Amino acid sequence: MAAAAIKTAPRLARDFFARPALVVARELLGARLVRIEDGQRLGGLITETEAYSGEEDLGCHCKAGRTPRTRVMYGPPGHAYVYFTYGMHWCLNFVVEVEDYPAAVLLRAIQADEGISVIASRRVGVPSAHWTDGPAKLSRALHLDKAFNGADLCAPDAMLFLEAGAALPDSLVSMSPRVGLNNVPEPWKSNPWRFRVLQNATEALRAG
DNA sequence: AGCACGATTAACT
DNA sequence: GTTAATCGTGCTC
């Protein structure tokens, strides 16, 4: 797809994020993630998210309460929470709900369509279908790391932000348990707080 | 100071 | 299906 065919849309503002994590996670599907690097737009349409909300959610990092790592999740909504895991991976979240209540939406996959040549250079040897189909993969593709932890997504000069997309009907969305919570007790392990755009719908998104 | 584990990925068998 | 890579984080001693 030619870059010229991509239309910019209104940015998602703070009030979009200041809602329950489950609502934000669902509505982010179809929205556009944009990261400005060296004056160039990198990004794509969001196809998979997960919701994490509250200290009582034992799948959430904030089950440990306020710590140096979780500090930004207790801050105001509309900021990035970027954490490091497995000794080598960065994962991007968006802080949601209200200040002093820890909640975030994990970005698990995007359909990249801007800055493709830059993304390709970071994913040498990997088929394009797998460039950004995992939380750590998309962070690597867009060069997102701890430098973005706490970044305000709603600032006028933000280098990382979201743009509104077309609303997706429920028929194109699947809900399932969150990934990677194998040692987390029920019911949090099985709560269907993972949201995905169905495969065939992803193709439709790509076509526009 | 030491330890076990992790909101993952890629490369195996 | 299994497992190594690799180190920050939060917990225990």
**Distance of alpha carbon A127 from alpha carbon A105, whole angstroms:** 27
Give the model confidence (pLDDT) of A127-161 as tens digits: 999 999 999 999 999 999 999 999 999 999 999 99
CA of A11 to C1' of B12 (A): 43
Per-residue model confidence (pLDDT) at position A199: 78
Residue nearest to nucleotide C9 (CA to C1'): A69
**Distance of alpha carbon A83 from alpha carbon A81, whole angstroms:** 7
Least confident of A70-79, A99-108, A158-167, A198-207: A198-207
Q: Which nucleotide is nearest to A70 (CA to C1')?
A: C9
**Distance of alpha carbon A201 from alpha carbon A168, whole angstroms:** 9
End-to-end CA distance of chain A: 10
CA of A55 to C1' of C10 (A): 15
A34 DSSP β-pair partners: A43, A161
- The helix (run of H) or strand (run of E) holding residue A16 is helix A14-17
Question: Which of the nucleotides in strand B have any atom less than 7 Å away from a protein CB atom?
Answer: 5-11
Give the model confidence (pLDDT) of A18-54 as tens digits: 999 999 999 999 999 999 999 999 999 999 999 999 9
Q: Where are the beta strands (DSSP E) in A86-192?
A: 89-95, 103-114, 160-163, 173-176
> At a CB cut-off of 8 Å and minimum separation 6, what does A59 contact?
A52, A178, A181, A184, A188, A189, A191
Question: Which of the nucleotides in strand C have any atom less than 7 Å away from a protein CB atom?
Answer: 5-11
